[in-house]
Amino acid sequence: MTTSTPLSLRPRVPGQVYLLAAVIFCLGTSEFMIAGILEPLSADLSVTIPQAGLLITGFAVGMIVGAPAMTLLTLTLPRRATMIVMIIGFSSLHILAALSPSYGLLMASRVLSAFACGGFWAVAAVHTSAIAPAAVQGRALASLVGGLTVANLVGVPMGTWIGTQFGWRSTFWAVALVTALAAVLIAVTTRSDAKPTDPAKPADSAKSTDPDEAESPTPAEAAPGLRTLLRAEIAAFKGPRIWLALGTTALFQASVFASFSYFSPLLTQVAGLSADLVPAVLAAFGVGAFIGVVVGGRLADRDIFGNIVGSLTALTLSLGALWLVADNAILAVIMIVLVGASGFSIAGALNARVFQIATQAPTLAASVNTSAFNVGNALGPAVGAWVIAAGLGFPATVVAAIVLALAALAVVAVAIRVERTWAGRSEPTLAEAAC
């Protein structure tokens, strides 16, 4: 006779994770809100719209460099304190942006904001991995990405409205205010934690299994030096496993943004949709992405590689369908929603995969994975721009996205083969097992 586990005993995503996801919502809103305020911003600072658009590129480059850089600088610091410092810095830099009298100072504030954003992302992911029960880790990590998805769905349109109603500077003031409040909430609700313990030191099985208590060692458990931590973190990059995981992340993200970046002209100039309806379609894309994140997170907890392969396959098929029906407004909208759902269903698995590889020292690996996402953010739109400049038309951006998704699948196929080989080498021999 089988008995079901009482609801009260089933593992759940810790409440702290949802607070961190709310912060990610603010960070994501800041990253993408520039697209909605390009015209008033460029007019006020006397720059061209393409120059104003480089503020988005500047943020992405800052994320690529800043995530691992800030991770190394804060490697020996407590996670709670690091997150608070990062978010306060982020808020302060947005005040600087709101007061910027010149384009150059605004660009500098964006790049430095990305450094703080990347640092927070990496530490928040590691903190989530530490406090979430293993059975719901994929779901917890997907919740962080869900904050970014909601930013595209709610935050960016809201930021655009604020900027058009009260001036582009008011958008930066709003982000500064909300992130400052988030820093206070993190300080109040997140337990203190000591410096990271030595990854090589075996865990004491007699200690409490409570995640929050587990990250507060006794004074006798002094944190290792920076050199020891660096060696442990860099060790995660030995061998092909981590690089295949990062390559998958970058190619997947590039695939999504090669198409997403040009959905607006695809809808208006190919599908014949009214420009007034484009924001609603992009919001629908966000809804699909949010559903994908939620469902994908649950699937990742069951089978990471199954989730990755299934999501990339679904993304490829939905992009192919979008290319076939691009001249039909109704069908194109439906396919765009499916692209959002299928694409973002992989997010939790990609993050969980990095933690699966870098078990003992995940911090730097997590930050580099954040950089890999931003490599995709930069690569995808660039590939789309290249095919448009080549005169192939807006539907060609969807074809480019399909090629990138197939490339990601090829990398995953190699990763699965490498994983099987690695698992075989890791299994003890009969002689070792008998010892």
Question: What's the CATH number where 18 sits?
Answer: 1.20.1250.20
> Do both 177 and 236 map to the same domain?
no
Residue 201 lies in a domain: no
- 149 and 247 housed in the same domain: no
| Residue 218: predicted pLDDT | 39
Question: 153: pLDDT confidence band, cut at 50, 70 and 90?
Answer: low
Read off the pLDDT band of 245 (50, 70, 90): confident
232 and 191 together in one domain: no
Q: Give me the number of domains the chain comprises.
A: 2
* Over residues 280-291, mean pLDDT: 82
* Residue 124 confidence (pLDDT): 81
Residue 318 has pLDDT above 90, yes or no: yes
The answer to the question of residue 74 being in a domain is yes
Rounded-to-integer distance, Cα 54 and Cα 51, Å: 5
Same domain, 169 and 246: no
Phi/psi region, residue 47 (left: phi>0; alpha: psi -120 to 50; beta: rest), is beta
The burial of 54, by beta-carbon neighbours within 10 Å (0-12 exposed, 13-18 middle, 19 or more buried), is given as middle
Amino acid at 284: A
**Statement to judge: residues 310 and 180 lie in one domain:** no
What is the reported pLDDT for 92? 95
Residue 185: domain span:
13-195
The encoded tokens of residue 3 equal 């008995």
- Per-residue pLDDT at 192: 54
Percent of the chain at pLDDT above 70? 77
Look at 200 and 63; give whichever has higher pLDDT: 63
Q: Do 245 and 97 share a structural domain?
A: no
pLDDT in tens, 368-379: 777 788 788 778
**What's the number of CA atoms in the CB half-sphere (13 Å) around residue 126?**
31
Within a domain: residue 202? no
Whether residue 140 sits in one domain with residue 66 = yes
- If asked whether residues 257 and 400 sit together in one domain, one would say yes
% of residues, the chain, pLDDT over 90: 22
Q: Which residue has the higher pLDDT, 279 or 291?
A: 291
| 394 falls within a domain | yes
Asked if residue 331 belongs to a domain, the reply is yes
State whether 282 and 374 are in the same domain. Answer: yes
Domain assignment present for residue 8? The answer is no
Contact 339, 287 (CB under 8 A): no
Confidence of residue 122 (pLDDT cuts 50, 70, 90): confident
User: 52-66, 81-95, 136-150, 205-219: which has the highest mean pLDDT?
Assistant: 81-95
User: Is 87 among the domain residues?
Assistant: yes
Q: 187 and 255: one domain?
A: no
pLDDT at 233 over 70: no
195-199, 337-341, 406-410: which is most confident: 406-410
- DSSP conformation class of 346: T
